[in-house]
Amino acid sequence: MCGRYTFVTPAPAIEDHFEAAFREALAPSYNAAPSQRLPVITDAAPDVIQALQWGLIPSWTRDPKAGPKPINARAETLAEKPSFRQLVQRRRCLVPADSFYEWQATPTGKVPHRILRPDEAPFAFAGLWDEWTDHTTGEVRPTFTIITTAANRMMAPLHERMPVILPTRAAERAWLAAGDTGLLVPLPDAWLRAYAVRTLVNSPANNGPEVVVAA
């Protein structure tokens, strides 16, 4: 799964890479967590980076407080899940990031690791988004989920799953434009590196540079 990630690349570099502009100033996050408003680029506005809440609330949900808010969607079963199958066709998104975290199970407990590109450059997770409308107040709440796939050989010792990362601008554009599910595959093994970090990352309240310091 993917339950935490970072978004700390300076805004000008993000805008240049994704050829999109921030709708509002968004603070960097060393510990992006579910329920937070985080940067997303949707297929409906591919030239805008906007804040959506992490944890999908489908548009057809009657009571968002009662239903699940999935933070991940398995690539292999998107067509089987009512929450996801229509969104692949009509509501796709990119989730800008520069690393993510995973917890490795060991005999002495779970050890968090930070996973990133060797050059620490930004990238995008493939995602889905939707809008839920409160018909009593008119409030529109946009939310998103990150698609996951099987781990590659680099990730496998840490966890059996990993987020779908789109490795090129062409792949990012293709996902937004057509929802090509052939893109929802593990990255090549050499594309990422990992190192252990301290358990500070376990709490979303910890959200400073100290979170990414090697253990």
| Whether the Cβ atoms of residue 51 and residue 23 lie closer than 8 Å to each other | yes
Give the chain's domain count.
1
Which residue shows structure tokens 């089987």? Answer: 80
- The residue annotated as part of the active site, out of 15, 24, 93, 102, is 102
Q: What are the φ/ψ torsions at residue 70 (nearest 5 degrees)?
A: -60, 130
Of the CA atoms within 13 Å of residue 206, those in its CB half-sphere come to 13
pLDDT tens-digit series, residues 139-191: 889 999 999 999 999 999 999 999 999 999 999 999 999 989 999 999 999 99
pLDDT tens-digit series, residues 30-86: 999 999 999 999 999 999 999 999 999 998 888 888 778 999 999 999 988 887 989
The residue range of the domain holding 66 is: 5-212
CA distance 54 to 173: 22
Q: Which residues pair with 102 in a beta bridge?
A: 113
Q: Is 93 noted as a catalytic residue in this protein?
A: no
- The residue annotated as part of the active site, out of 2, 24, 131, 139, is 2
- pTM to 2 decimals? 0.96
| Whether the Cβ atoms of residue 128 and residue 87 lie closer than 8 Å to each other | yes
The enclosing domain of 44 has a CATH number of 3.90.1680.10
Integer-rounded Cα radius of gyration of the chain: 17
Closest-CA residue to 38 (of 166, 143, 186): 143
Q: Is 102 noted as a catalytic residue in this protein?
A: yes
